[in-house]
A and B are shown apart, each in its own frame.
Chain A
Amino acid sequence: MMPTSAVDWQRKVIRSRWSRIGFFTAILSFLTLISVPIIVPYLWLVVMSFTAKNGHTDFIVLWRVLGIAGVAYISLLVIALRAQNKTRAKWLQLTVILSVLLLGVLVVPLLTVENYRFMWDPDVQATGAQRNILPSIWSALGNSLLFATGQTVLVTLLAVPAAYALSRFGFRRRAGVLKALLMLHAFPVMALTVAIFIQIYWMGMLNSIFAVILVMCALELPFAIFVMKNFFDGVSWDIEMSAITDGATRFQAFRLVVLPQVTGGIIAIATFAFLRGWEEYIFVRTLLIDSTKMTMSLYLFWASQDSMGSDPGLIAAVGIVYMLPVGVLYLFTQKYLTQMSVGGIKG
């Protein structure tokens, strides 16, 4: 072995090592940098909703939480990179326990649930919001739930058979129907607001949640049908034909064999319809005038419209209550949402 070549190899090893480290650092810092502006507002929202608004404690709490989160993040990185497989779990435990302890000592004593008083005290006037404008939060939550659920049921019931027909049956203008669906989905909904208001007014359905459900359903259907059609396209013809030769009717084949294959798709479109209904603002604002029909999005809006200056703690608390149900829903259904794809109009 020549000595010169040995030296060369050593240098190459060092160079590869440094280039690996450089690549890794670049990726990590990029991901961290873009995550910060996404995560911090949520953190801020949670912190705000639990602190008293006096221009002092809320800042202390926010900075302490951010500091603890930053340290925890860095230690997690170090553990992920440096710890041995055997001791990794132990280090993780240690980090979590330390963070919780720090939070408990430095942050928890400064927290208050005062901002959440609207949950048990329907008279929100104490917060400075206008009298008689805001109903109880529970009524708003109930309306939102009714609205989102009603929309979900209607969209799912209509989208599933429509998507099945578009996926399975050859009929005239089928491609045309698909293109029209796509265009409907791309249409700017805001442009329709006035027309829909007048239409609902003439139908005498203003102030009815059912009317808003109908409107939202019409707007949501194209997307749901498209997603669902894709799921049906993934179920092979053979399986359906096999069920028919086994003695099933067309409907039995659909119910017993095809439908079980697309439950993921149904959950996906139902979740999306629910989320859209839950967050809907424009049409509930336009079509539900009476405050007893107020949904959560309107409640949040009116809670922040205070002539005496808005209360950020209260708004943050309302925001948290508004977010919690969809967060929980998303936790259970994200597995199905990731399978979703919006396919082409062919096939």
Chain B
Amino acid sequence: MAAIVLDGVAKSWGNTQVLHPIDLTINDGEFAAILGPSGCGKSTTLFLLAGLYTPTEGRILFDGHDVNRVDARDRNVGVVFQSYALYPHLSIYDNIAFPLRFKPEEKRQADRLVRDVAMLVQVDELLERKPAALSGGQQQRVALARALVKRPGLLLLDEPLSNLDATLRMAMRAELKAIHAKSQATTLMVTHDQIEAMTMASRIICMNQGRVEQTGTPDELYRQPANLFVAGFIGSPPMTFLPGFAEGPVAIFGQRALCLSAHCTGPLTLGIRPEDVLLTQSGTGHFEGCITQVDPMGREILYRMHTPIGELQALESGSAAQYGIGASVGIALQPELTLLFDAQGDRLPGIKATIMPAHFSSAAMCPVKQRINLSN
């Protein structure tokens, strides 16, 4: 078990910088996840930690020791590759025992270690078989057992669940979490699946285009995203963004003005999660909306609608649609749950937007509208 620190680590291939300098700490025994779209540098980070790549800049510290000059084989890192990378010519037993070949000091208890870890991941019935005879889920467990058998200081999982079908993925999520709780290995998982990251990791590092966008608990990333990228990447169905323009204490979104809790100027983006849009009886709520599309999702229903502030989405629980296409509904927004982002896409943490009553709104809009026209 080890605490991992990345100190300004960057990686380039030739002239392309795939990883801009990043600083990162993973605490001892923690389950952290790197989340990001494909090509964001998350796997590169993983291979840098494993020692398969050498950073072009910066230092990697394991328990305070610089490991930049330590070979991959000596880092005591367990890696589960996306393809599992089981050795096809060896039996499951020999696959799991493979890392112990290079640890002469474990020779005497090697058999016990292999059987213990096989028991932990529940492949103890399959030890005599060859990898080709195993299902995807079983191969995944074997890969995990092989990574865990040498009791690694750091366990790295590269998209561990992406090759499994949906039901198996659910089951393995829970199991990986349970195995982590038992083994207490410092774990870093790389994934592009936000549900995986949210459910399994206690801390998420959200990356985009070789940069860390935000690091935090799943709840922090969900409720207080640092910028538009994180806000849009996390959450399903995704957050709705509405473009607007601010002038002092007032901001215009669509045909309505919103009252800001602090002064602000320039283009703004309003972010609202679909589940925070409350549908009410027509005539009540902050403003009226007209339903344009109804998507039943089983437990919930996603409505899309026209509103005076723009196209909105609302997620309502219940399996039967209460409103049809064309119905008009009242819409209530909770100001404390709406987020504002500035022109650069960074969140404005201190500012809240409140909906003004309709008659007040149109009057307040006048000067701002003129201002917009002038600026155009």
Contacts and interface: CB of A to CB of B under 8 A. Distances in A.
Chain A contact residues, majority secondary structure: helix
8 contacts: A238-B82, A242-B81, A243-B87, A245-B50, A245-B51, A247-B101, A247-B103, A260-B87
A244 B85 CA distance: 12
Contacts of B82: 238
Given A241-B52, A261-B89, A247 B73 contact: yes
Contacts of B102: 246-248, 252
Given A245-B51, A247-B150, A239 B79 contact: no
A137 B73 CA distance: 56
B286 to A, nearest CB: 54
B289 interface: no
Contacts of A247: 73-74, 99, 101-103, 150
Interface of A: 236, 238-239, 241-249, 252, 256-257, 260-261
A261 to B, nearest CB: 7
A245 B77 contact: yes
A245 B74 CA distance: 8
A241 B87 contact: no
A244 B87 contact: no
A260 B85 contact: no
A245 B77 CA distance: 6
Contacts of A249: 73
B316 to A, nearest CB: 45
Interface residues of B, number: 26
A243 B88 contact: no
B89 A244 contact: no
A257 B50 CA distance: 19
Interface string B42-86: 000001001110000000000000000000111101110111011
Contact of A236 (B75, B77, B83, B146): B83
A247 B102 CA distance: 6
B72 A245 contact: yes
A326 B286 CA distance: 90
Nearest to B149: A246
B103 A245 contact: no
Nearest to B74: A247
A246 B95 CA distance: 10
B229 interface: no
Nearest to A263: B89
A262 to B, nearest CB: 11
B146 A246 contact: yes
B222 interface: no
